[in-house]
Amino acid sequence: MPLSILNDSVRETTELNFARFAGEKVLDRLRAIDAKARAEGLASLAPKSDLLIPIGMEINAEGKVTKNSYGVLDLAWQAGEHPEWPALVAAEVEQIRARILEVHGQKLRFIIWAGMGGSMEDKSAYASMGLLKGGPQFYSLDSTDPEKLKSIIDDMQKRSGEPINRLLPATLVVGMAMGMTSYEPVVNLEKLAGLYDKFKIDSTPNFIYLTLPGSILDQFAGPRGYKRVPLQLDEDNTTAGRHSAPLTRGTLYPLAFAAKDAVKVLKDWIAGAFLTEAEVADAFKLASFLHTQGEAGRDKVTLLMPKSWAPISLWTKQDVEESLGKSENIGIKIVIGEKFNGKNYRKASDPKQDRVFLVIQRRGEAHPDGDGITLLRAAKYPLAVVTFPSKGNVSRYMQFIHHVVFALGYLRKMNFVMQPSVELYKAITSEIYKEAESAGDIRETKAWKSLGGAMKQAKRWQGVVSLETPETLANAIRYSAESGKIHYGDLTFFGDTRYSEGGKLMRKALESAAQRIFRVKLKMVADVYEGPAMNHSYHEMIIGHGGCFSIVLLSEKQTRFSTAGYEPTYHMAQFLATKQALEQKGRVVRAILVKDLTPESIKALELFFSETAAMLELQ
């Protein structure tokens, strides 16, 4: 796995940072601390005795270690001592299949996996990469927008030509939440369980869940008789959701369900996550390079992936930003999904140039940005190139990135396993949701009425867009940019953009807006998200580090999935809570309401952003 670093203007500092890992025997210390935690218990650890404890473990107000979160690295070390793990997972998966067949007389045909953020992005990537072909049709249920579940059910019926009551017995529903307070999967599991009840179908063989004992998900699923599956094969709890790939049941089960020879597939996959000492050293060196570039103000890591691994980009972004985005002093933003365009970059010599480029390539595979990479090198942009073997699983890449994240946490003396900003948004969502339940309608809450007040002061632009006009939005962006308050942008639509036609159109419109407004006009990086699916990464980076101009969007016309009794209340509360959380932290945010998601409305929205871009001229 050769690593090449090019155009590093601060190479001496990079080398000094890299030398720390060997000089301070970081890996040896980490193995010793992790082994002690597992052998002697958390009470044996003194947080002040070693920096590795406060950066990779959870510590309470009394200064006691409450969770060792180094499973992200030690599961690979343990796997070498447990050759039985692939066969164990394969057997568990077959038991689930057999149970469904025994109770319902049907083979497994569909999997609906309910989770959020890091608990979902690995599986969504596997599906896009074709790793789940040949198995049950896989669906990512990563939103509380009723439209997403409705679209999934509609697709199941369309594919099979059968009604939903005939398909539910052949469907496995998986809930996954690795936080004690994660409520989103419960919302979806509750509606799905209600469908089974409605059609008088025994759901107990069809539901499994992965979570912590006593969590909100456990409190819902346990009493219904659903099977709780331990996330880790060592039966411990030492990983966060975003760290569950590539070596926990939460990431291995989908691969096993899809494989004809699950034992072989899992054996190769797990073996792929074993990094050699040289590969770990490359991960640490890459982290040293990225850290030093970040200190120099180049903290926008533009990720250029090979075509075969492009779908894993979003997982990478989630892993890095949710882990390391919490500091106002230094950030690291992973830029994905951009087509190479040198015109959108500031010159390498420009003091405002804040990009560093990370190229991932596979030996023997032509890189889609090959010509651009050559130009970047010649133009003296800081650039790192990591080359992976042509035959090898993406599990190796994932474990490599975990080591990079750990090393960055070490250099920055930053805890890379906790997510404090996410908890703020969750708490506000809960408050708004409770108020909505009490009032009987989300539109009766204080949060919604505050939007309504703004709506009354101005008519819908073109009969479609509320709360902003092209002029007001352009003025806000211009002021924020000229005052130095922002250095990147994001556009987040709260609704399904994966399965529904209207959502797909919205996604394209926002991609176009990001290009016109931020990348071309301001030469800033910009993200396009689906909320609340990516809110975990979103909140750690935007609330924690700041410097972003956020535009959050919602359709005034919301889907109600009547068959499942699914209302959009919680989903709308998440939209309102996101806006409030950002405002509480002093971040720049603007909310936009769109009349609906018809093609006509989306065209009007595109025109809205086009005019915004046209008005955006900096002084």
The order of strands in the sheet holding 525-531 is 465-466, 588-594, 548-555, 488-494, 525-531
Nearest C-alpha neighbor of 487 from the set 515, 457, 519: 519
Rounded CA-CA distance 209/212 in Å is 10
As a 3-state breakdown, the chain gives helix, strand, coil percent values, each rounded to 5, of: 55, 15, 30
At 423 the pLDDT is: 75
Nearest C-alpha neighbor of 533 from the set 140, 34, 71: 140
Amino acid at 137: Q
Q: 146 is written with which tokens?
A: 């009723």
Nearest C-alpha neighbor of 284 from the set 414, 407, 388: 407
Q: 233 is written with which tokens?
A: 């094969």
pLDDT along the chain (619 residues), means of 10: 92 98 97 94 94 95 94 95 97 98 98 90 96 97 96 97 97 90 88 97 98 92 96 92 93 98 97 96 98 96 97 94 89 91 93 96 96 96 96 94 98 90 82 94 92 65 94 96 95 95 97 96 94 72 89 96 96 94 92 97 98 85
- Whole-number Cα distances in Å, 612 to 98, 478, 518, 551, 595: 57, 10, 11, 13, 18
Under DSSP, the state recorded for 81 is T
Contact 272, 388 (CB under 8 A): no
Q: How far apart are the first and last CA of the chain?
A: 47
Rounded CA-CA distance 253/249 in Å is 5
Rounded CA-CA distance 440/570 in Å is 12
- Whole-number Cα distances in Å, 347 to 278, 378, 379, 381, 402: 34, 12, 8, 8, 31
Rounded CA-CA distance 144/130 in Å is 26
Under DSSP, the state recorded for 64 is -
User: pTM for this one?
Assistant: 0.95
Domains along the chain? Answer: 11-68+275-411 (3.40.50), 82-272 (3.40.50.10490), 420-615 (3.40.50)
- Whole-number Cα distances in Å, 106 to 6, 109, 161, 547: 57, 9, 16, 53
At 537 the pLDDT is: 64
DSSP result, 89-141:
HHHHHHHHHHHHHHHHS----EEEEE--GGGTHHHHHHHHHTTTTTSSEEEEE
